[in-house]
């Protein structure tokens, strides 16, 4: 790496001379560089998106068509494999289970994290600093390795194959990230707000509910949207905690479906597309929240 730091003489020349020559040269170089860099950007965009487009396109073709012609356009589009995946392969059940689990657990973790984050931002005692540190450690620890005790605990409570068991687990798993983002937002709100509310006779909960909550709405949106993605995609927990096929969420449903429909390519592609559509829609509608969730650690 260090070997390449030789002074770029051409740049030195152009700054020394002045006049029209350097600017022309700079302009030309920028164009060559510009073409190269936009080629790179477009090329990688194609590499990034082509497999997903292929998934969509193949879901609209028949298996026979794919066997004859591995690459081809879905003309005319054929939607029968969606019907097959949705009804025959029980994707309707998986899909609604996934929606239910995702929505309920994201709401649960956001609600409890809002309360906790508010306390972390508005207390000074060492106890709360420690607790916040413990919650945050959940971001770095491989907590999924605790699956065996979790399995026994839910089994003892009769909650294996119960979607509520999964919701509680995901609700807990969302706490580290949600409190982290929300607490940093609450901390930015001036303490004068609390003083004013207190003078008007509001208690801690009223202050939280009527004054702070409306002000942290953007952070709530980030937390909700951003937690949606890992919960919707998670495969590990339902693989172990859900044994009953009627309670499968989409990712576990897909593994079963891949075993059963091995040769029915069109239906396989349709199933994968169905599991992906909600995320793509969410991303296009809430790009801002997703991006701010991904970069949450950078804003300090």
Partner 1 sequence: MSAITTPRVRRGTVRTGITLSRRAGMVFVLPALALFSIFIAYPLLTALSYSFFDWTGIVRGGFVGVENYVTLFTRLPYRDDLPNAFVHNLLLFVGAMVFQNTIGLGLATLLHRIGRFKRFFQTMYTLPYLVSPLVIGYLWSLMLSPLFGPVNAVLRGIGLGELAQPWLGNPQTAIWVVVVVTAWQWIGFPVLLYGAALGGIPQEIDEAASIDGASAWQRFRAITLPMLLPAIGTVSVLTFIGAMEAFPIPYALGGSQGNPAGATDVMSLLFYRTAFESGSSNAIGTSSAIATLLFLFIFGISMLITWFMRRTERKLF
Residues 91-120 that bind partner 1 (CB under 8 A): 108-109, 111-113, 115-116, 118-120
Applying CB under 8 A, does 47 fall inside the site for partner 1? yes
Where does this chain touch partner 1 (CB under 8 A) — which range of 17-25, 79-87, 149-157, 216-224? 149-157
Phi first, then psi: give them for residue 244, nearest 5 degrees: -95, 125
Applying CB under 8 A, does 212 fall inside the site for partner 1? no
Which tokens go with 217?
């709405």
C-beta closer to partner 1: residue 21 or 52: 52
Residues in the chain: 300
Applying CB under 8 A, does 202 fall inside the site for partner 1? no
Applying CB under 8 A, does 54 fall inside the site for partner 1? yes
Where does this chain touch partner 1 (CB under 8 A) — which range of 76-84, 86-94, 212-220, 228-236? 228-236
Where does this chain touch partner 1 (CB under 8 A) — which range of 19-27, 75-83, 87-95, 171-179? 171-179
Count of residues engaged in binding partner 1, rule: CB under 8 A: 112
229 CB contacts (<8 Å, ≥6 apart)? 279, 282, 290
Applying CB under 8 A, does 38 fall inside the site for partner 1? yes
261 with 81: CB under 8 angstroms?
A: no
C-beta closer to partner 1: residue 80 or 129: 129
How far apart CA 206 and CA 196 sit, in angstroms, is 12
Q: Which positions from 233 through 292 interact with partner 1, judged by CB under 8 A?
A: 233, 235-236, 239-240, 250-251, 254-255, 258, 265, 268-269, 272, 275-276, 279-280, 283-284, 287, 290-291
147 with 253: CB under 8 angstroms?
A: no
Applying CB under 8 A, does 122 fall inside the site for partner 1? yes
Q: Which residue has the tokens 């025959």?
A: 88
How far apart CA 292 and CA 281 sit, in angstroms, is 17
How far apart CA 125 and CA 222 sit, in angstroms, is 28
169 with 149: CB under 8 angstroms?
A: no
Where does this chain touch partner 1 (CB under 8 A) — which range of 19-27, 89-97, 216-224, 231-239? 231-239
Which tokens go with 269?
């592609």
> Pick from 26, 99, 107, 131: which binds partner 1 (CB under 8 A)?
131
How far apart CA 56 and CA 78 sit, in angstroms, is 11
> Pick from 143, 159, 211, 213: which binds partner 1 (CB under 8 A)?
143
Q: Which residue has the tokens 């969730």?
A: 293
């Amino acid at each position: 790496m260090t070997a390449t730091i030789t002074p770029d003489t051409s740049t030195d020349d152009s700054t020394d001379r002045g006049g029209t020559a350097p600017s022309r040269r700079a302009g030309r170089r920028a164009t060559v560089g510009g073409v190269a860099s936009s080629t790179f950007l477009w090329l990688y965009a194609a590499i990034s998106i082509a497999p997903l487009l292929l998934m969509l396109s193949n879901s609209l073709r028949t298996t026979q068509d794919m066997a004859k012609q591995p690459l081809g356009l879905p003309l005319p589009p054929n939607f029968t494999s969606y019907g097959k995946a949705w009804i025959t392969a029980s994707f309707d059940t998986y899909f609604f289970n996934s929606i239910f689990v995702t929505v309920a657990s994201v709401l649960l973790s956001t609600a409890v994290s809002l309360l906790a984050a508010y306390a972390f931002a508005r207390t000074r005692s060492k106890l709360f600093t420690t607790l916040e540190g413990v919650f945050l450690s959940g971001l770095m620890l491989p907590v999924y390795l605790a699956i065996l005790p979790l399995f026994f605990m839910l089994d003892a409570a009769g909650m294996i194959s119960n979607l509520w068991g999964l919701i509680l687990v995901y609700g807990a798993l969302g706490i580290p990230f949600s409190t982290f983002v929300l607490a940093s937002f609450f901390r930015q709100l001036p303490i004068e707000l609390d003083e004013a509310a207190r003078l008007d006779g509001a208690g801690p909960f009223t202050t939280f509910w009527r004054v702070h909550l409306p002000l942290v709405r953007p952070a709530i949106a980030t937390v909700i949207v951003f937690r949606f993605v890992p919960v919707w995609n998670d495969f590990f927990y339902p693989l172990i905690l859900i044994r009953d096929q009627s309670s499968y969420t989409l990712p576990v449903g897909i593994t079963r479906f891949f075993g059963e429909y091995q040769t029915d390519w069109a239906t396989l592609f349709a199933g994968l597309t169905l599991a992906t559509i909600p995320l793509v829609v969410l991303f296009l509608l809430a790009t801002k929240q997703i991006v701010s969730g991904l970069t949450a650690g950078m804003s300090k």
